[in-house]
Structure 1
């Protein structure tokens, strides 16, 4: 299959520190799944302890997978999610991004070859 024939998955990635584990976070957790299910979202990483190999990452990483980055962005902007987002944002230091994954069959060597060609061209 040609990599241009597939739509890369999308991801919502959250990084949380200093989480106040009180009733607001509990409510957020009770309600969040219902907000991403209509967009095809599913948990990939949640409340998993990580091992840091380089640098410092003292908080928690959360990853929700979506069929496309458009679906991830639509979920984040949706009214149901925006209604509960303050439950998290007001009770944790957090960063949330949406990002496109790579297409099926992606190879870093292909990217390196394109970069090498551009470098030679000047």
Structure 2
């Protein structure tokens, strides 16, 4: 099952030179773990709420590869180049199976909530 690294970042108006270096070097840290960019700072069409930053989504074959990438010496060596200059949040998350069914998920959650209320 694929996994994702999602980053919400609020870059300054002018990027620091170290951020450019980070961008030049990050792909080499992703390659050994099968990581690839799906979204990398593209303009957002915000339909609900307020989103003043940018979005980055990186796909990995599985959560184990995502964790291994984030903890790798190669990524640790460049992480500060970004983190020192762009505030934000980064999370790792499992994706869903291709046959994911949100209606079935809702039914399971509803049943669990009803069972908890009867205790």
Give me the TM-score of the superposition, normalised by structure 2: 0.91
Is 1:83 aligned to 2:77, yes or no?
yes
The 2-side partners of 1:115 and 1:18 are apart by: 38
- What is the aligned counterpart of 2:102 among 108, 112, 116? 108
Q: Which runs of 5+ in 2 are unaligned?
A: none
The aligned residue for residue 112 of structure 2 is 118
Shift of the alpha carbon at 1:47? 2.0
Q: Deviations over 1:35-55 (max 9, x none)?
A: 011000001001200011111
The aligned residue for residue 20 of structure 2 is 26
- What is the aligned counterpart of 1:96 among 65, 86, 90? 90
The 2-side partners of 1:67 and 1:24 are apart by: 29
Task: Give the alignment of 1:38-49 within 5 angstroms.
Answer: 38-49=32-43
Q: Deviations over 1:45-100 (max 9, x none)?
A: 01200011111110000000000111111101111001100000001111111011
The 2-side partners of 1:28 and 1:119 are apart by: 45
Q: Which moved more, 1:112-121 or 1:79-88?
A: 112-121
The aligned residue for residue 8 of structure 2 is 15
Secondary structure of the residue aligned to 1:33 is: helix
Give me the TM-score of the superposition, normalised by structure 1: 0.89
Count matched residues. 115
Is 1:64 aligned to 2:58, yes or no?
yes
